[in-house]
Structure 1
Amino acid sequence: MRTYRFRLLNVFAQTTLGGNPLAVFEDGQGLSDAEMQALALQFNLSETTFILPATLPEANACVRIFTPTFEMPFAGHPTLGSAQVVRALGLGDQALSLEMRAGLIPVVSTADQSDTWTLRANTPTHRRPDATRAEIASALSLSENDLIGEPLWVDTGSDQLVVPLISPDAVARCAASAELMAKHCGNGERAMVYVFAPDGPPRDGIQQAQVRFFFPKNGSPCEDPGTGSACANLGGYLLATETPLPQRWQLAQGTAISKPCQLQLHVNAQREIFVSGRVVELGHGEIRLPEQTP
């Protein structure tokens, strides 16, 4: 039998049982692509990651990220959670470079044993959606008046539709339709919608905001507790809309599904995007698989 060790973590966590769950396999060598995908389906978390030897000399490790149904080139909370495991395995210290399908992602912690990690996102691209504001609003069970500003597709590693809303109340009232998301909020491969609204004026130079992230799954609407890639894409949205820099935001996500998350976004004067969050390790275990046949 082949044995593979894994760890369970919560990312963007304010409490031990808050945050966005993640499974990280310490060493994915010997697993086929199909087995990685099957294990991600078995765990049935939003993402499961597999640590592998780096193929690039400047990387500490290679990380592959799987949802239960497909592999992702980049995602925020798997990046931060995997970084903590990479350090725990002795593959690096508080400054890491993780090799992903989206490229090299730098990740740092504030100290040697800190559980707060920061990633630097890739340079964003953006484009206007084909759908109208009214069509996008309908996919969220909102009126067009609930939207403020223009929705944009933004991509710092994961292509998502970023939708600015008029108030935290509008964020709370969102009720996503899987059918209408697929019709109006898709990019030809999948639909992903990120809504946000500032929550009052900035306090001590930090803008508070309420955010939610929706996607269809098996014909039903789903909501992610804490979405680091979308946080990075919000930074890309701020750049695309020429928001004065620097910007610091603190994002509250996941309260609607009882998995509260807190994400930190920093866009500096050099137009670099950083996403930060706390990682909590819950436990560990191992799975056993039969030997592969030649």
Structure 2
Amino acid sequence: MKLNYLLLDVFTRERLKGNQLAVVCKADGLLDGEMQAIAREFNLSETVFLLKPHVERNTAAVRIFTPEVELPFAGHPTVGASVVLGLQNKVTAVRIEEKIGLITALFEKTDKRSGEARFALPRLPTRIAPLEDRAAIALALGIERDEIGCGVYHPAVYSAGVEFHLVPVRDASVLARVALNMGQWAHTFPHGHHSVYIFTETPNEADNDLAARMFSPGMGLAEDPGTGAAAAALIGLLSEHADIGTGQVDYVLRQGHEMGRPCRITIQLRKDNDVLIHGGIGGHAVIVGEGALDLEA
């Protein structure tokens, strides 16, 4: 069996920046364990497998794997897969069946190897639990207790399909010097895959509103350059404190700068009578390579 694949950089317009992604095409013949093994072989934060859709009018079904687990939803694989499908099918919208549900992504071509995709969240974020032990959080992140918190934001657990422990910190300098202490990690961050999204506001940076870093040892990720599912969870916390009753707010978030893989993620939220009714994630992606997996015995 030989399977063609593409390599993309996502949440960036520049090759060799952003978050890397492998997209395996025409993967219908693969078993679950084979997909997991291929994702482990690529050893990227995520690998996407494109399958025939269950419903004919949809564009494709996808499966998303980290090196260790399958995810029902993830942002940078959705953006990357949408750009690939948009380019291949020469369309401006794609309908993707993910385990979380159907996602419709709007696609705009930049050139024959790149484009931008934006999609509405298939599941709006919900608050799962508070995070109240700031001393434990500070110890786990290698920062001071009084450096936790940013403006109106306080630590909490949210999910838009994947659970994240959201930890606001005082400013970008604190974010840059986070140093993980794994001894109490699972106890301090007990939900889901023990994933932590550390973020701050960036009022002194002209090109973005927020900055973040994501760590998820439970997914097999030391640090992820750009995490759409975490940004989707963050929409829940942003919405709680957005100074609008009815209307829309747009943000630009940077991630991955500390890794030398800068990502730019666009975030959108809309409220009606103080209730969140829409969340959106977007970004650019560019194809940087292609090849074939040779799985013949």
Q: Evaluate the alpha carbon distance shift between residue 258 and residue 201 of structure 1 in structure 2; reply closer, same or farther with a 3 A threshold.
A: closer
The answer (yes or no) to whether the contact 1:80–1:277 under 8 Å persists in 2 is yes
Superposed displacement of residue 137, structure 1 = 2.1
Asked whether the equivalents of residues 14 and 262 of structure 1 are also in contact (C-alpha less than 8 Å), the reply is: no
The offset of 1:73, in angstroms, is 0.6
Q: Which residue of 2 aligns with 1:247?
A: 249
Q: CA separation in 2, counterparts of 1:159 and 1:59?
A: 27
After the TM superposition, which residues 129-278 of structure 1 pair with which residues of structure 2 at under 5 Å, given as runs?
129=130, 131-148=132-149, 149-187=153-191, 189-200=192-203, 208-216=209-217, 222-244=222-244, 245-270=247-272, 271=276, 272-278=278-284
Cα displacement string for residues 54-77 of structure 1 (whole angstroms, at most 9, x for unaligned residues): 113553210100011110111100
Q: 1:157 to 1:165 in 2, by over 3 A?
A: same
The farther-off stretch of 13-22 and 103-112 is 103-112
What secondary structure is seen at the aligned counterpart in 1 of 2:54? coil
Call closer, same or farther: CA 1:112–1:201 in 2, change over 3 Å.
Answer: closer
Runs of 4+ aligned residues of structure 1 deviating over 4 Å after TM superposition are 111-114
**How far apart, in 2, do the equivalents of 1:21 and 1:135 lie?**
32
**Whole-angstrom distance in 1 between the partners of 2:285 and 2:55:** 26
| Native 8 Å contact 1:201 1:207 kept in 2 | no
Alignment correspondent of 2:287: 281
1:268 Cα offset (Å): 2.4
1:86 is matched by which residue type in structure 2?
Answer: L
The answer to whether the Cα contact below 8 Å between 1:14 and 1:261 also exists between their aligned partners in 2 is: no
Any idea what SS the aligned residue of 1:237 has?
helix
**What is the percent sequence identity of the aligned residues?**
33
The amino acid of 1:257's aligned partner reads M
Alignment RMSD (CA, Å):
2.2
Q: Cα deviation per residue 1:161-193 (whole Å; 9 max; x = unaligned)?
A: 111111111111211223332121121x42101
Cα distance in 2 for residues equivalent to 1:221 and 1:261? 17
The unaligned stretches of length 5 or more in structure 2 are none
CA 1:7–1:133 in structure 2 vs 1: closer, same or farther (change >3 Å)? same
Q: So what's the TM-score if we normalise by structure 1?
A: 0.89
CA distance in 1, matches of 2:266, 2:155: 22
Say whether residues 1:32 and 2:14 are aligned partners: no
> Using a 3 Å threshold, how does the CA distance of structure 1 residues 88 and 111 change in structure 2: closer, same or farther?
closer
- Alpha-carbon separation, structure 2, partners of 1:249 and 1:191: 26
> Could you list the runs of 5+ residues in structure 1 that have no partner in the other structure?
none
Deviations 1:103-138 (A, max 9, x none): 112211235867011121121111223551222222
List per-residue Cα deviations over 1:192-213 (Å, max 9, x = no partner): 010111111796xx86222111
Structure-2 separation of matches of 1:41 and 1:207 = 33
Superposed, which structure 2 residues align to 1:18-57 within 5 Å? Answer: 18-57=17-56
How many residues in Structure 1 have an aligned counterpart in Structure 2?
285
Letter in 2 for 1:195: I
Task: Give the match for residue 91 of structure 2.
Answer: 93
Q: Deviations over 1:136-171 (max 9, x none)?
A: 222111122111232111111211111111111111
Contact 1:14 1:260 in 2 (8 A): no
- 2:66 paired with 1:63: no
Q: What is the CA deviation profile of residues 50-99 of structure 1, one whole-angstrom value per residue up to 9, with x for unaligned ones?
A: 00011135532101000111101111000010111222332x72211211
